[in-house]
Amino acid sequence: MREKLLSVGDDFWIEDDQGQRAFKVNGKAVRIRDTFVLEDASGNRVASIQERKLSVRDKVEIERGGDTAATVRKALVGLRDRFAIELKDGAELKAHGNIVDHEYQIERDGRTVATISKKWFRVRESYGVDIAQGEDVALLLAIAVAIDSMT
């Protein structure tokens, strides 16, 4: 993922391991709360990512096909950066690590399903997302964008 500093609306492309553009994050400018749309390379909407400010904890909802696919909440306890992710089917994921520096893992039942790292790149404002085989790539990328918007 590569973010552009000072880009209008926070638009950026997500490239695959071959350097091909796979997804675009389209940030909606001039909104009261952060809203992003994850699109595939053809411009089709894959997910909407929207911040919800009127709750005790910051939360971001990820919608797919008009339904909430996941809700990402910042954890209230602990000194480390931690997030709880509730999926539509009732399953839960956890994200922890140094979120601000883009060095963290997303886990399901103690198993890492995605690793996010800025150390893999020398290019400024770029970081990699390594997603385990068989996982929902678009959903995990949307979760990474949600966490990034909350930090």
pLDDT reported for residue 119: 74
Phi-psi region of 145 (alpha: psi -120 to 50; beta: other; left: phi over 0): alpha
53 vs 69: CA distance, rounded Å: 18
Place of tokens 């790149």: 121
pLDDT reported for residue 31: 47
**pLDDT tens profile 61-113:** 999 998 999 999 987 665 567 899 999 999 999 999 887 777 899 999 999 99
The larger pLDDT score, comparing residue 22 to residue 149, is at: 22
**pLDDT tens profile 8-35:** 456 788 888 888 999 998 876 544 456 8
What's the fold here for domain 12-150? Porin (2.40.160)
pLDDT reported for residue 130: 92
- Give the CA distances from residue 93 to residues 5, 39, 60, 73, 123, in Å, rounded to whole numbers and listed in that order: 29, 23, 14, 11, 29
> How is the chain split into domains, by residue range?
12-150
Mean pLDDT of 34-48: 90
49 token code pair: 């990512």
What is the torsion angle, in degrees rounded to the nearest 10, for the CA atoms of residue 79, residue 80, residue 85 and residue 90? -70
